[in-house]
Chain A
Amino acid sequence: MTLLQVRDLTVAFPTDTDTVNAVRGMNFDVNPREVVALVGESGAGKSASAMAVVGLLPEYAAVSGSIRLHGDELVGLSDERMSQIRGKVIGTVFQDPMSALTPVYTVGDQIAEAIEIHQRDIGRRAARTRAIELLELVGISQPERRSRSFPHELSGGERQRVVIAIAIANDPDLLICDEPTTALDVTVQAQILEVLKTARDVTNAGVLIITHDLGVVAEFANRALVMYAGRPVEIAPVDELYHDRRMPYTAGLLGSVPRLDARQGARLVPIPGAPPAMAALPPGCPFEPRCPLAIDKCRDAEPALLEIAPGHSAACIRTEQVAGRSAAQIYGVSTEPAAVQQAADEPVVLRVRDLAKTYKLTKGVVFRRQVGEVRAVDGVSFELQEGRTLGIVGESGSGKSTTLHQILELTAPQSGSIEVLGTDVATLTGRTRRELRSELQVVFQDPVASLDPRLPVFDVLAEPLSANGFDKKQIDDRVAELLGTVGLRIQDASRYPAEFSGGQKQRIGIARALALQPRILALDEPVSALDVSIQAGIINLLLDLQQRFELSYLFVSHDLSVVKHLAHRVAVMYKGTIVEQGEGDQVFTNPQHEYTRRLLAAVPQPEVDRR
């Protein structure tokens, strides 16, 4: 018997102007012990669907359709009734474990509270004992002692384990996981997926997992619903989805994922355009404007889900065109890396030797005394050659960002030396430093934070130019040229950053970095905040730009697959030191250091037979 049955679910959010239809007709089932994944890009309606099931949508959201759990209707239940179901029959795991836990109570108390709320007669002592058992179950060592810790005393992975412990505390029948691993490091992510598998086995619950990571789907899920514009566009068992996807969108999504087995410089298949606005959708297939296979008939009506094989259906009228063709063929792009003969003896543009950065730990208010120090970066050395890419890989806290910013400051480091274009930064004066700045530019991770929201795009791009003494006419010309270079329209110059999608914002960030025609570009996780189909476009752009302007990239990322696509040389950082450094192919195919091996093994791959 099915555990969860969702029929014709729609969720609409009324706004000042239009009604935004976030979910438009979802139908799916979840069986006990089954893992169902909702996959899609941001804004596709996956979170709204899942939140509708637990009844955690904001009050003004209009939900219609039917959600049945064990045959009981959930839509229209009062919040009070839902509270008795939430946490007892349905367990929930959220993305950010820090904000999911109350900072002022110990984790043991929080688990015990979850138990006591739904089992009134259990008693405090029994609840505490059960909490400790649960902590042990989710793999926290010394559970008795750790149950008395506060959330901030635990690492990110341990916090997420606690959240899972709370979710399964009352032996739920359904587990809803909303991007459970997105905020975590790769190695931790793999462990959390293991914990979730254990949790499912222990509780025999059905799992509904929401994710944008196709690798996670391949590792963990049995069945996947690919969502686009508030509807599932393809439903299939996971292995069938990866081998025989029929919807062009799914094909594009899979084609745009960077892969560990790709060659350096290999292009990805981006899906052109951006997801549609969810208010006032035009008739016809919502994917039609971005679809390479679209024909006139696609504009007539929105296709229904058509069954292709038992358990596999796709909302597309051109599915036979997708079968058996690669994403690159469908989208008509070449993924071949451009043939460039690389001379091995290119001049070195950036040389870092024994760079170290320590933070002092002090105690006391009146009499400050040093109690120790944290070595954020500890004796890091590397070289970057002209026209090449050096990828610095590491997990959070490995010191990769500190290293990057130490270089970008262009001031003498605490110890060691930094040499940019043959000049030691310790010898720079104010004027020469400003001159050198135009040769070394940076693209940040978060395109939202790195663009001043109060400046229109023209002013954003003009800023570095006017700061370096260009006149009005030159600035106008250069801005127009830059917009063209990164694939934006000249008309976009008078719009504010907030009016652009994430990928376009990152293009603006790249254009700004290119404004002064630098020779070195520092890329601080430039694609981590973007959806995969957008990410692919940015990676391709970076590859093209490098070829066109012979740029040298210093690329910092936690994502090994992205680094594989971009980097010629790779340096793996761990706890402030470089544990392994070498040519990209070498490091990835024949890792020497234990940590590199662990890192590589933990990356979830978007294919199913790897297991």
Chain B
Amino acid sequence: MNEPVTDSNSSPATEDSSTTAKSGVDVTSFASRRTLVLRRFLRNKPAVASLVLLAVMFIGCYALPPLLPYSYSDLDFFALQQPPSAEHWFGTNSLGQDLLAQTLRGMQKSMLIGVCVAFISTVIAATVGTIAGYFGGWRDRSLMWIVDLMLVVPAFLLITIVVQRTKGDIIWMIFLLSVFSWMISSRIVRGMTMSLKEREFVVAARYMGVRDSRIIIRHIVPNVASIVIIDTALNVGIAILAETGLSYLGFGVQPPDVSLGTLIASGTPSATTFPWLFLFPAGVLVLIIFCANLVGDGLRDALDPGSRALRRKAR
């Protein structure tokens, strides 16, 4: 049935985008996909704000500590367990350590681990998923066998054991967390690839003589990009949470070094009596994950021209 709603609904979009297209175009060199995606992303204010905030936090946690009067390990015996003040912005803990310096140090570890793990595991997932789905046959069978194998390995146990042996080495943690977190997404990507492979624009590209690798990069990956990007954004959060969880339990980053996990762990017992010990690291954690998700949403909307046209129910 011809749904008149969608038909006539798409027309107004055509109208105003045709005017924007007209005003924005430089006839001699056509606006490429990249500039269009960028333009669409910049139009999404919350996502841009989150991205800026994430960048500020990322740069801040590396650039700020040298400028502070205290390092994360310094003890101020004149300010034990003090609430936030002009001298110690985030307050101090029972040893007199400055919580701002400690939180920044923790952010360094956590954000680095989160971003790296999310990125690496997404790249693995996208590569494995598209190759298995596009080519099928023996590639599909062997790759999915590996996925099944990885899924039955008790990952958390394995990571805790290895991380303990490596004394909380950050590279090992990134490696282990990424190796154990790509399997589910690669299955999703594989399924989407298999249905995309049958679509006419992929068939058309094959008939035009486009190479398989190029079809995967230009047609398959952008079309699974929305799920991959959401996945990356969520993975940042999950990876940070995994790292925090490990450290919270004492398996991750080892003292005297700190991460958000160890900070939250040490702040938890006094969450109600000395709330700043718990609230600042936990708040930062929430903020990072929230921003990562907003950026992911914004990127999806920019990459997928259809996703914003989805009808909202009027009532």
Are A and B bound to each other? yes
Question: Per-position contact with B for A428-450: 1 when CB-CB < 8 Å, else 0?
Answer: 00000110011011101010011
Set A14, A449, A494: member contacting B36, Cβ < 8 A: A494
Least Cβ–Cβ distance between B27 and chain A, in angstroms: 6
Contact check, B11 vs A495: say whether CB atoms are below 8 A apart.
no
Among A29-73, those with CB < 8 Å from B are 42-48, 58-61
Residue of A nearest to B211 (CB): A467
User: In whole angstroms, what is the CA distance A59 to B25 when docked?
Assistant: 41
Q: Tell me which residues across on chain A come within 8 A of B5, comparing CB atoms.
A: 13, 20, 22, 48, 58, 61
Contact check, B9 vs A13: say whether CB atoms are below 8 A apart.
yes
Beyond A408-B207, A456-B36, A495-B17, whether A42 also contacts B201 by CB under 8 A is no
Question: Per-position contact with A for B189-213: 1 when CB-CB < 8 Å, else 0?
Answer: 0000000000111011101111100
Can you list 13 A-B pairs, Cβ within 8 angstroms, ordered by A? A13-B9, A15-B9, A20-B5, A22-B4, A44-B4, A454-B223, A467-B211, A468-B209, A476-B29, A491-B27, A498-B10, A498-B305, A499-B14
Least Cβ–Cβ distance between A114 and chain B, in angstroms: 20
Top 6 A-B residue pairs of the complex, sorted by shortest distance between their CB atoms:
A277-B11, A278-B8, A43-B7, A437-B209, A450-B200, A464-B208
Contact check, A494 vs B312: say whether CB atoms are below 8 A apart.
no
B214, CB-defined interface residue at 8 Å? yes
User: In whole angstroms, what is the CA distance A516 to B204 when docked?
Assistant: 13
B161, CB-defined interface residue at 8 Å? no
B152, CB-defined interface residue at 8 Å? no
Q: Tell me which residues across on chain A come within 8 A of B10, comparing CB atoms.
A: 498
Set A20, A449, A459: member contacting B8, Cβ < 8 A: A20
Residue of B nearest to A179 (CB): B1
Least Cβ–Cβ distance between B22 and chain A, in angstroms: 5
User: In whole angstroms, what is the CA distance A42 to B11 when docked?
Assistant: 12
Contact check, B204 vs A450: say whether CB atoms are below 8 A apart.
yes
Question: Per-position contact with A for B10-32: 1 when CB-CB < 8 Å, else 0?
Answer: 11111101100110110111111
User: In whole angstroms, what is the CA distance A271 to B83 when docked?
Assistant: 76
Among B152-208, those with CB < 8 Å from A are 199-201, 203-205, 207-208
User: In whole angstroms, what is the CA distance A515 to B207 when docked?
Assistant: 13
Set B12, B18, B29, B306: member contacting A453, Cβ < 8 A: B306
Q: Tell me which residues across on chain B come within 8 A of A444, comparing CB atoms.
A: 200, 203-204
Q: Tell me which residues across on chain A come within 8 A of B3, comparing CB atoms.
A: 47
A16, CB-defined interface residue at 8 Å? yes
A383, CB-defined interface residue at 8 Å? no
Interface centre among B21, B29, B30 (most CB of A within 10 A): B30
A549, CB-defined interface residue at 8 Å? no
Least Cβ–Cβ distance between A524 and chain B, in angstroms: 9
Contact check, A452 vs B223: say whether CB atoms are below 8 A apart.
yes
Q: Tell me which residues across on chain A come within 8 A of B28, comparing CB atoms.
A: 476
Q: Tell me which residues across on chain B come within 8 A of A22, comparing CB atoms.
A: 4-5, 8
Beyond A277-B14, A278-B8, A449-B200, whether A441 also contacts B207 by CB under 8 A is yes
A296, CB-defined interface residue at 8 Å? no
Contact check, B305 vs A60: say whether CB atoms are below 8 A apart.
no
Least Cβ–Cβ distance between A422 and chain B, in angstroms: 19
Q: Tell me which residues across on chain A come within 8 A of B303, comparing CB atoms.
A: 454
Contact check, B315 vs A94: say whether CB atoms are below 8 A apart.
no
Contact check, A498 vs B199: say whether CB atoms are below 8 A apart.
no
Residue of A nearest to B26 (CB): A494
Total chain A interface residues with beta-carbon distance under 8 A:
70
B222, CB-defined interface residue at 8 Å? yes
Set B2, B208, B210, B309: member contacting A42, Cβ < 8 A: B2
Least Cβ–Cβ distance between B156 and chain A, in angstroms: 35
Least Cβ–Cβ distance between A137 and chain B, in angstroms: 25
Contact check, A494 vs B9: say whether CB atoms are below 8 A apart.
no
Least Cβ–Cβ distance between A13 and chain B, in angstroms: 5
Contact check, A437 vs B8: say whether CB atoms are below 8 A apart.
no
5 further contact pairs, Cβ within 8 A, besides A13-B8, A42-B4:
A43-B8, A442-B207, A446-B200, A449-B201, A498-B306
User: In whole angstroms, what is the CA distance A94 to B1 when docked?
Assistant: 7
Q: Tell me which residues across on chain A come within 8 A of B17, comparing CB atoms.
A: 495, 499
A239, CB-defined interface residue at 8 Å? no
Q: Tell me which residues across on chain B come within 8 A of A406, comparing CB atoms.
A: none
Least Cβ–Cβ distance between B47 and chain A, in angstroms: 18
Among B23-72, those with CB < 8 Å from A are 24-25, 27-33, 36
Contact check, B201 vs A495: say whether CB atoms are below 8 A apart.
no
Q: Tell me which residues across on chain B come within 8 A of A15, comparing CB atoms.
A: 9, 12, 311, 314
User: In whole angstroms, what is the CA distance A247 to B7 when docked?
Assistant: 24
Interface centre among B1, B7, B199, B205 (most CB of A within 10 A): B7
A167, CB-defined interface residue at 8 Å? no
Beyond A15-B9, A277-B12, A449-B200, whether A495 also contacts B222 by CB under 8 A is no
Least Cβ–Cβ distance between B230 and chain A, in angstroms: 15
Beyond A20-B5, A277-B14, whether A60 also contacts B315 by CB under 8 A is yes
User: In whole angstroms, what is the CA distance A440 to B14 when docked?
Assistant: 33
Q: Tell me which residues across on chain A come within 8 A of B2, comparing CB atoms.
A: 42-43, 46-47, 179
Among A294-333, those with CB < 8 Å from B are none
Q: Tell me which residues across on chain A come within 8 A of B36, comparing CB atoms.
A: 456, 494, 496
Set A14, A279, A438, A509: member contacting B12, Cβ < 8 A: A279
